[in-house]
Amino acid sequence: MAITTNAIDSVNIEVIAKIDNQQIKASLDKLAKKAAKTMKVDGFRQGHVPVAVVLKRYEKELTADAEQEALRNSVEEALKSSNKEQKDLIGEPFFDKFDRNDDGIDAVFTLSFKPKVDISGYESIIPEYSTPRVMKKDIDEKKQEILKMVAPLEKIEQNRALASGDFAKFDFEGFVDGVAFDGGKAENYLLEIGSGQFIPGFEDGMIGLNIGEEKDINVTFPQNYGAENLAGKPAVFKVKLHEIQARKIPEKLDADMLKSIIPNEENPTEELLEERIKEQLKNEKLFKLIAEELKPKFAEAAVEKFGFDVPKNIVEQEMDMQFQGAWNTFSEDEIKKLREDQDAVRAKREEYRKDATNSVRLTFIIDELARVRGVSVADQEVVQAVYFEAYRMGQDPKAHLELYQRQGMLPAIKMSMIEEKLFNEMFASDNKKTKKDKAESDKAE
């Protein structure tokens, strides 16, 4: 084996490796002998299978393993010659060349290492902002929303048609290709019209019905519908309206309603509810401001201020993700050209290098910021977040978690949670607003 290493920058090393066939064969023989001791083959006792038999049956698989072992050895040799350690590596080697020939393997690859990130002075690039103000009308509107949620339902006695915002009590049965399907039938079902709980078109089709009236509603199940046997298919729902109900909005909250809205307070008042609403709205506005304005400003300034070398393999992965993510935005002519011309693919992919590099650099900055500020997310919090996502999507939480585990997505989810927690904490505690801003934000106008 011949190894040559060249430092590309402070975190990337180019490795030129020539692995001869003799080394691969030696590794192949060793692996075959090891396999012969445990392999079960008809006609031979376990542990007494001839190496030649093993090679005849599994030469392709064992050769691939031998090549991988040789490459691992080349990585170890490259680390030694560069005075680096295995623990310093980040990600997998990125191969620019891997050619098999009569003499063995010629490979050129890059080893990448975690960069040292110095974020001294990051406080100076935290954007200034004024705490979002909550207006009196915002509080009143939110309170009306709450009133609608807790107001009791009352049967509509006057003779009128069903309208959006009403609650309909009705029977329904669904048919696909004239055949009723499982789960498509119910009696005296209560549905808020306009809530979007049913598939698109169903609730709109009910508007205008009168009590006792029957109707066939034609709809099409969404392509991503949970039940595969119904996804994308046209259906007919036969419905019969029995009753129309509506919320009776009280002019003022009584004690029982207040207790249902603020259950942990012994003597809840409307004034306390308004204070809670104000705090909630302020947080909502602040988090929106952070996500849409402050975080992008800080990210742009941080990438510009803190320049350091980034791992090539991670950048290449990010480029692939951005290129693949943008595929559906390309025109038909672009896609046709990319499918026929590999040079065009390489050129198009290269357009994402700058953004990918900045994205990777920002990831390391955020990681260091989280360390410096003591922000962390426990694995159990990640599991809980995945479970909550599954509940919202109506999926089995355990299966949802296992899917993410198989796809290797949990580290990315954890990093995203750390990022959100970091920015919320950083902007909340490091807000450089003026006293005037603070005074104005603490009162509702």
Output phi, psi for 23, to 5 deg.
Answer: -65, -40
pLDDT given at position 429: 63
414/402 Cα distance (integer angstroms) = 15
Cβ-contact 56, 50 below 8 angstroms = no
Cβ neighbours for 49, distance < 8 A, ≥ 6 positions apart: 36, 39, 40, 41
Cβ neighbours for 62, distance < 8 A, ≥ 6 positions apart: 28, 31, 32, 35, 54, 55
Cβ neighbours for 335, distance < 8 A, ≥ 6 positions apart: 327
Q: If you ran DSSP here, which 8-state letter would residue 87 be given?
A: G
pLDDT given at position 442: 47
239/127 Cα distance (integer angstroms) = 56
* DSSP per residue, 103-134: TEEEEEEEEEBPPP---TTGGGGSPP-PPPP-
pLDDT given at position 252: 73
pLDDT given at position 226: 80
Q: Which long-range contacts (C-beta less than 8 Å, at least 24 apart) are formed by 343-346?
A: none
pLDDT given at position 42: 76
The CATH number of the structural domain formed by 152-247 is: 3.10.50.40
The pTM for the full model equals 0.68
pLDDT given at position 270: 82
110/200 Cα distance (integer angstroms) = 51
What are the domain boundaries of the chain? 2-112, 152-247, 261-308+375-441
The answer to whether 2-112 and 152-247 have equal CATH topology is: no
pLDDT given at position 431: 53
CATH topology of domain 2-112: Alpha-Beta Plaits (3.30.70)
Give me the tens of pLDDT residue by residue for the chain, a chain 445 residues long. 799 999 999 999 999 999 988 888 888 888 888 888 877 777 787 777 888 888 888 888 888 888 899 899 999 999 999 999 899 899 899 999 999 988 889 999 999 999 999 999 999 999 988 888 999 999 988 888 887 777 788 899 888 999 998 999 999 999 999 999 998 999 999 999 998 999 999 999 999 999 999 999 999 999 888 888 899 999 999 999 999 999 887 777 777 778 777 877 778 888 888 888 898 898 889 889 998 999 999 999 999 999 999 999 999 999 999 999 999 899 999 999 999 999 999 999 999 999 999 999 999 999 999 999 999 999 999 999 898 888 777 778 889 899 999 888 898 899 889 998 999 888 876 554 433 344 444 444 4
pLDDT given at position 274: 87
